[in-house]
Structure 1
Amino acid sequence: MVSKFYVFDDKLVVPGNDPRESWDLGNLYVKDRGKWRKRRTIPHGVHCFEMTAVDGTLIARIDTDHTSMLLMSGDWGKHWAPIVYDTLPERLFLLGGRAHGLNWDAGLCTFENGVFYAEQIVPRHNMLADEIRMYAYFGRLCRLDDPQVFRGCVVGPSSMGSSMNEAPYPLCIVPPGESRVAIVEAFKDETVLDVCVQGDALYVLCTRPKDGKYENSIYSTADVQSFKCEVAFTADTFARSFVRVDDVFYVGLGCERPDENGPQPSASTGDILQVVPVK
């Protein structure tokens, strides 16, 4: 299952798990110049949940059998080296040309000279003047799943207090200069699982169950007020993640992690779809 797609230096990078093979094995796929390359599990890694890249260096947050750690690679995943850190970030992101990390409890950290340094979180009113710190503060406050900065707003789906089978994940937004978090009402009846910012557009991936299947949709907006449906399709499972590359959407199909008494993954879980937007 692909938790998140990334585009680094025009390369599509996909860390993920294939539950049809084993939940204990992760992979790293790279699409470069039209060809896919598969890297087996990052050394000692069971899952690779977060990645970013800066100055040609891939940075990955992984889980092992015993702990979590950060690794970096200067050759697109062929070789990896450990990263020293003050606080292990749960989220990795790139803003202002620098790599940053976000820890739900300790706050913001910044990558410099191969090390992640923890930064002191300043009071709320000071954060609103700095989009990186605003990102960090509200990302922690709302437990935003992969928050993005779009037109000065912090926006992303929030998974606080809900699961896929219990209640929809809302799309949350913090407008510039605001100290409040708002829910985008356009998606109150759908589950928002991923967002993607490209150029002047924000793309939103939504899903909802219907008649034993899932209706999956991708919307675009230039102002987070009006939304246009770019793609809509039905599948036997929900769309978990996506990215837009060269006017084509790559969509990863996911599933809830099964338990011994629950339903097993559908046959299409882990598939990556290539979808052309509606003209």
Structure 2
Amino acid sequence: MIKLNMFTKSALFLSLCLFSQVALNQSVDTSRAIAQEVIPQEEQNIVSNTTKDVTNEVELMGNPGSSKYPSGSRVYARNIWDMQLFNNRLYLGQGNSANSGPAPNAGPAEVWYFDLTSQQFVKQFTTSDEQVSKYRVVGGELMIPGHDPRDSWNLGNLYKLEASGWKKYRNVPNAIHMYDVYKFSNQLFVGLGTRYSQTIYKSTNAGSSWKGIVPNPNPGRIYTLFELGNKLYASGYAMDIVQYNGGFIGVTNNFLLGGTQFKRTTTPPVVVRPTNFQNQLVYIVAKNVNDHQWTPLNLNVAASPTAVRTVTLPGRAKPWDVVCSDSKCYALGAIYNGSGDYTITVSETSNLTEWKEVFRFKSDTFARSFEMDDSGNFYFGLGCEISPIPTSTGNILRVSKSAWSS
């Protein structure tokens, strides 16, 4: 952490004022500004090591979105917004629900998975939404919150994978956007983007009916629901984090540490990719871009709502995703070297304090999401910002355990 000498108070004051103005101006959502953005972070214990470069051992598994989004700006909708391993299948989220920019309203979004047994991509289902942004395993069931329905906005869509296949449940009132679904204390909760003040709904009967909740203060669009210390929290497109106590109320917290420089801009910070590990929460503080999407600011670890610290990944890699097993957490990072030149990194920790980079490889764009199967093989879903849009967007890559652990 840099400390300034106070030998000239007037010069220091001027420098701080200029720095604050620059930080506020960093909300411009251009790909180059985002790619080269430097976010102040608290230095953590980073293990110095000679990491393994596996560039020559990266396998290209395919690009399932290329048929629906073949060329031009539509390639943007190939972004792999999320990857979720479920029943030996790697599920992929694609599409685009933004109203402007490249590939606007690119639905109906398809549900694809990569079968780890047959080594084949399968198109399993077509949703009624513009984008599959997130998969959630809820009470042992795989679900998709409907991101932007092509149906009437009077009701929102929640998809469940059942024995007979995917089923759409359409009974959440005024859910123009359903950003998340979460199970807590035997109740289902969904976070919404809506024209009304009830931005969270809960169900006490497994989704058969729903009751609206008005958070106080209201964070607006509720993008992420997450749990820490047996408490449920909600993060939206405002600075407020609210906690459930029968309703949702504001709570003193530092969850958005590292993102507060965007407080007075149109790109407020939000919690994304929350993962519980060793009774703590590992997550990314991100900022909203292109309407419903996000780009990362920093990686955080929270032991409690107020005991929060930022993590600097080896190589100061920009964090994109987090995956945890029983004994280790892995963070997906990207280092921007120049136009069309990225280094994708995977770092690990067993204690959330010391982070070691275990391998890296070169790519013409970053990986937006990743997963690890039970054999220790890593899968990566390539993505892009709104510009440039490389044709590799949507590529699914694999790095086998033998490549990185030997």
1:121-270 matches, within 5 Å, as 130-133=229-232, 137=241, 142=256, 143-160=270-287, 169-176=297-304, 178-186=305-313, 189-212=316-339, 213-246=341-374, 247-258=376-387, 263=388, 265-270=389-394
CA-to-aligned-CA distance 1:85-107 (integer Å, 9 cap, x gap): 36855223466787544458845
Aligned residue in 1 for 2:123: 38
Structure 1 moving runs of 4+ over 6 Å: 95-98, 119-123
Alpha-carbon distance change, 111 to 198 in structure 1, aligned in 2, over 3 angstroms: farther
Give the unaligned 5+ runs of structure 1: none
Give the unaligned 5+ runs of structure 2: 1-78, 97-101, 218-225, 236-240, 244-249, 257-269
Scaled by the length of structure 2, the TM-score of the pair is 0.55
* Distance (Å, rounded) in 2 between the aligned partners of 1:74 and 1:269: 27
* Aligned residue pairs, count: 264
Residue 158 of structure 2 aligns with an amino acid whose one-letter code is: L
Residue 283 of structure 2 aligns with an amino acid whose one-letter code is: G
CA-to-aligned-CA distance 1:217-267 (integer Å, 9 cap, x gap): 011111111112233011001111001002101100000124xxxx3x112
Farther off after superposition, 133-142 or 208-217:
133-142
Secondary structure (helix, strand or coil) at the match of 2:351 reads: coil
The structure showing larger relative contact order (alpha-carbon pairs under 8 Å, at least 6 residues apart) is: 2
Task: Tell me if structure 2 keeps the 8 A contact 1:208–1:214.
Answer: yes
Alpha-carbon distance change, 76 to 244 in structure 1, aligned in 2, over 3 angstroms: farther
Task: Tell me if structure 2 keeps the 8 A contact 1:14–1:29.
Answer: yes
* Distance (Å, rounded) in 1 between the aligned partners of 2:396 and 2:228: 39
Counterpart check, 1:29 vs 2:112: yes
Secondary structure (helix, strand or coil) at the match of 2:92 reads: strand
Alpha-carbon distance change, 210 to 196 in structure 1, aligned in 2, over 3 angstroms: same
Secondary structure (helix, strand or coil) at the match of 2:322 reads: strand
CA-to-aligned-CA distance 1:142-182 (integer Å, 9 cap, x gap): 3111211111112211113789xxx9620012114x52432
Alpha-carbon distance change, 74 to 27 in structure 1, aligned in 2, over 3 angstroms: closer
Residue 82 of structure 2 aligns with an amino acid whose one-letter code is: K
Aligned residue in 1 for 2:396: 272
Residue 179 of structure 2 aligns with an amino acid whose one-letter code is: E
Residue 92 of structure 1 aligns with an amino acid whose one-letter code is: V
Task: Tell me if structure 2 keeps the 8 A contact 1:70–1:82.
Answer: yes
Task: Tell me if structure 2 keeps the 8 A contact 1:110–1:118.
Answer: no
* Distance (Å, rounded) in 2 between the aligned partners of 1:138 and 1:184: 24
Residue 143 of structure 2 aligns with an amino acid whose one-letter code is: I
CA-to-aligned-CA distance 1:73-128 (integer Å, 9 cap, x gap): 343784422243368552234667875444588458467422455568799xxx99
The structure carrying a bigger strand percent of its residues is 1
Aligned residue in 2 for 1:11: 89
Counterpart check, 1:58 vs 2:142: yes
Aligned residue in 1 for 2:49: none
**Aligned-residue identity in percent:** 19
Root-mean-square deviation (CA), in Å? 3.8
Task: Tell me if structure 1 keeps the 8 A contact 2:296–2:320.
Answer: no
* Distance (Å, rounded) in 2 between the aligned partners of 1:28 and 1:128: 27
Alpha-carbon distance change, 201 to 107 in structure 1, aligned in 2, over 3 angstroms: farther
Alpha-carbon distance change, 195 to 110 in structure 1, aligned in 2, over 3 angstroms: farther
* Distance (Å, rounded) in 2 between the aligned partners of 1:57 and 1:273: 26
Q: Once the 2 structures are TM-superposed, how far is the Cα of residue 71 of structure 1 from its aligned partner?
A: 2.2
Aligned residue in 2 for 1:49: 133
Secondary structure (helix, strand or coil) at the match of 1:84 reads: strand
* Distance (Å, rounded) in 2 between the aligned partners of 1:31 and 1:219: 24
Task: Tell me if structure 2 keeps the 8 A contact 1:231–1:275.
Answer: no
Scaled by the length of structure 1, the TM-score of the pair is 0.76
